[in-house]
Every structure is written in C-alpha cells, then in structure tokens.
Amino acid sequence: MSSLLIKNGRVVDPSQNLDVITNVLIDDGKIIALDNNIDSADIVIDASNKIVSPGFIDIHMHEDPFVDGKPTFSMAKSALLMGVTTDIGGNCGDNNYDPIEYYKYLDKYGSYVNLGLFVGHSSLREKFDINKYCPASDDVIDKMAIMAKEYLDQGLLGVSFGVKYVPGSTTSELVKIASICHDSNKLVTSHVRQDEDEVFAACEELCEIAKQAKVRVEFSHIGSMGGYSQMPQLLKQIDDYRNQGIDMSCDCYPYNAFCTSIGSTTYDGNFLDRYHSDYSHVYLSSGIYRGKYCDEELFKLVRNNYPETKAIGFFMNDEDIDLAYEKEYICVGSDGTRDDGHGHPRASGCFPKFIKDYIKTNKLSLLDGINKMSTFAAKQIGLINKGNLKVGSDADITIFDLNNIEDCATYDEDLLAPKGIDYVIINGEIALKDGEIIKNNLGKAIRI
Ligand SMILES: [Zn+2]
C-alpha cells in the first residue's frame, strides 16, 4: 500500500481538541504521524484551505438490501459521496438482510464505505412470525435473546428496537432483549414507541429499559419523534435522566420532514390528527407515484397496494431540530432509507447540509460540529480506532471545503451528490477525489 501525505490542511480532531494547520502521514491503513516537518510520501494531497476531518460516521442509516446476492450499493455510494466513511445500519429494529451474510460479503468484496450493523429486534420477531400488533410469548422472547446474543458474539454492534413499528412488543420483552448488551457494554438504539404528545411516555420507557437492563441507550432520530413542538420538554426530560446517571444519547437529521414506508404504523389510523395536518403534506418519494403529493384517494391506494413506497411527511418544526443540536449528547445520523433506489434526500445530503446549516452559520463551532458527525458517534458505538485522527487510528479521513460545501439533493431529485467534498480516504486509500469516486471497495465490515 502506498504511503499518503495530506499537506497543509486545517486538521480538526475533537478527540484531541485539535484545530491546527499540519500534515498527516498515512501508511498501511493507519495514521502514522501528525507533523509539519514531514513533507513527502508516495502520494501527496495538497489540502491548503481545506478541513481535514475524521471521516464522517453515520450512526443511524438503513443499509442497502441484497438483490441477486449482493447489496444494491445505492445508500453506500451516496454515503461516500457525502463524506461518510462508516455507515451504521440495522437501525429501527430492521435488518435488510442477514447481518452475518452481509459481513461475509463485505469481507470478500468490500463496499463503498465501512459498514457496521445492529441486530434488529423486529427482524428477529419476523423470524418467529410474531404479528407486529401482538406480544411475543416468553418462550419466543427467550429464543430471540439467544439468537441476538449469537449475533453480538460474532461482532455485531448492539441491538436496535423499532418499537413504533412493532407496538405489540411489551416493555419486559424489550428489557429482556436489551439485557444481552449489558456484559459487553454494547449500545441499544430505539425508534421509541410513540412520537408527538406521546413521546414523553415513550422516552420514559426507553429510560426504564436502560435502568432495568443496565445498558447504554440511543434515542433514534429525536427530531422526527419530538419535532412537533415537544423538543424543549423532551430535552429537559433527557437532561434529567442523564443527571440521574442514565446513559442516554440521541441522533438527529437536519431536515423538517420524516420518511418511512407508507404501509408502516407511522401512517396508521389517526396520523393526520396527531400531526395536526392533512394528506397534502405527505409526499411519495419512491415507486410508481414518486414525485406526487397525496390526497386521501392516492394515499389509500398506495398504502393498500404499494406499502413499501417511501412516504415523506412534512410535519416537523425547524426550531425543534435547532434546539436538539445544541445538546452535546445529540449527534448527526441520516436515517437514510430507500425503496427502488429512491427516498428522502437526507441519504445523499445529510452531512453537507448539517455543515452548511450549523457549522457555516456558526450555530456550532467546527470542533463541536465534527464531534457530532464523527467523534461522538464512534465513542457511542465503541469504535476506538475511528472518529479521531490519533496516531495509530484507522486512516478514515474526509477533506472538505468549508466555504463551498453544500447539499444538492432535494425532495424531487434525491440522488444529487453534494458539492465541496474534496477527498475521502478509507482505510488509508483514496476512495473519492474531487467529488468523484475512484475506488468503490475500500470499506470493510465493522465488528466489535
Ligand atoms: Zn426509525
């Protein structure tokens, strides 16, 4: 492997509280030195006037499905284009494919970016054919716990819940499954039971799980759970838990619209009442009706016949999202998800949009912003060699132009790549140069 030198960049590493112009030497996949005096290597990148950051870690996304024996590489490609070096999938209770088989594929062929996976609780329930509205029997819960433990023993990162999507699951079921993360101190993430005015009770349930199972918990995409004017009170509730010693953190995406399958429980029954809205605020972002806003007739037709269609709900407040990002324990996660290769623009633009909206505007400092995009996520997952630029760490690095960075993906054109990502280095090699992908197989399976 060639040695690589990144010269004259503004090197920012929240883990060392570092913000300095220096040179970074990389060899054999690792960071070898941060030193102004080193000025040559096999390959030299001039990063003058650019930010040299630990590669972005997307702590909350939904991995590509497998088609014809391999991942579709739609999400993974978009991740690389927006500066992400490590994707974390298996979120919201869902595994798109057996995680061990996924890892085996990556071990053999690589991917656009590194990928780590959680064990999805809803996917375990599906293996036992448990109806989403029904509780599981004690016997099945025991079997699911054993199965989840086997996955963790093979390196999976923790357990994810999508309680909102499987309302039949009881708190005691969730505690039992979460408990398997206790010994290894692995993370438990949850798309909690309910949003809007019921989010407080849902947050309390997550706190109960953390307490009873004695585990660290991540409240998934807090913006889409409490972004309907609940955020001030919800953050106070979480502050209180943290002050009591509960290790609860959150992720959030910088958009005011959520996205999920139109057939999911999010769109059950009285959803328009709960969001104080109407059908015209639901936008279809995949499938044959892609690009259309709903009316009652179209909504019902698509929900009944094409339940996998991604439907975007424009119901959230920007002010709630801004408030969330003020908290040091809330990091960036795209929640990107696609069907038929299309979905919410966050899968293509989340990180550049966060930089544009929060760092460029000085709502957050560069160090705090990069912490939320990388260092904090690595710490939560337990990746000690990622999310930082320490000597000896994995050389996953994103070089970007703070002045020109911009997300380009829109609700109509959700696949447009961002501007301002100059280089992405994954495991010590250049994956992306001047916005163009030059190597698509440098990503590895992440096991802990
Ligand atoms: Zn979710």
218 Cα–ligand 1 center, Å = 12
| Rounded Cα gap, residues 320 and 158, in angstroms | 28
49 Cα–ligand 1 center, Å = 37
369 Cα–ligand 1 center, Å = 23
123 Cα–ligand 1 center, Å = 14
98 Cα–ligand 1 center, Å = 19
266 Cα–ligand 1 center, Å = 10
Per-residue pLDDT tens for 26-56? 999 999 999 999 999 999 999 999 999 999 9
Antiparallel, parallel or unpaired: β 56-58 and 66-67: unpaired
Q: What is the DSSP letter of 281?
A: G
pTM of the complete model beyond 0.75: yes
pLDDT at 77 (0 to 100): 98
- Mean pLDDT across the chain: 97
7 Cα–ligand 1 center, Å = 40
What is the Cα 96 distance to its own chain's centre? 15
- CA-based nearest residue to 162, from 127, 124, 136: 124
Per-residue pLDDT tens for 61-109? 999 999 999 999 999 999 999 999 999 999 999 999 999 999 999 999 9
Question: Would the pLDDT of 134 be above 90?
Answer: yes
Q: Report the pLDDT averaged over residues 287-304.
A: 96
194 Cα–ligand 1 center, Å = 11
pLDDT-based confidence at 339, cuts 50/70/90? confident
pLDDT at 448 (0 to 100): 97
| Rounded Cα gap, residues 164 and 167, in angstroms | 6
52 Cα–ligand 1 center, Å = 31
Terminal alpha carbon distance of the chain? 25
Residue 200 CB-density burial (10 A; 0-12 exposed, 13-18 middle, 19+ buried): middle
CB 348 within 8 Å of CB 81: yes
Angle between helices 318-325 and 231-243 (to 10 degrees): 20
62 Cα–ligand 1 center, Å = 9
221 Cα–ligand 1 center, Å = 7
436 Cα–ligand 1 center, Å = 30
E strands within 300-441? 310-313, 330-332, 338-339, 342-343, 397-400, 421-426, 429-433, 436-437
311 Cα–ligand 1 center, Å = 13
pLDDT at 292 (0 to 100): 96
220 Cα–ligand 1 center, Å = 6
pLDDT at 1 (0 to 100): 84
**Assign residue 93 a region: left if phi > 0, alpha if psi is -120 to 50, beta otherwise?**
left
Per-residue pLDDT tens for 145-157? 999 999 999 999 9
162 Cα–ligand 1 center, Å = 6
Residues in a beta bridge with 71:
66
Q: Report the pLDDT averaged over residues 224-240.
A: 98
191 Cα–ligand 1 center, Å = 5
pLDDT-based confidence at 335, cuts 50/70/90? very high
Which domains can be identified in the chain, with CATH numbers?
55-256+316-385 (3.20.20.140), 258-314 (no CATH)
Separation in Å, CA 12 to CA 16, 31, 58, 327, 389: 9, 14, 18, 20, 8
pLDDT at 99 (0 to 100): 97
Per-residue pLDDT tens for 340-398? 899 999 999 999 999 999 999 999 999 999 999 999 999 999 999 999 999 999 999 99
CB 59 within 8 Å of CB 415: no
278 Cα–ligand 1 center, Å = 22
412 Cα–ligand 1 center, Å = 22
What residues contact 42, with CB distance under 8 A and at least 6 apart? 2, 3, 4
Count the Cβ atoms, other than its own, within 10 Å of residue 42: 10
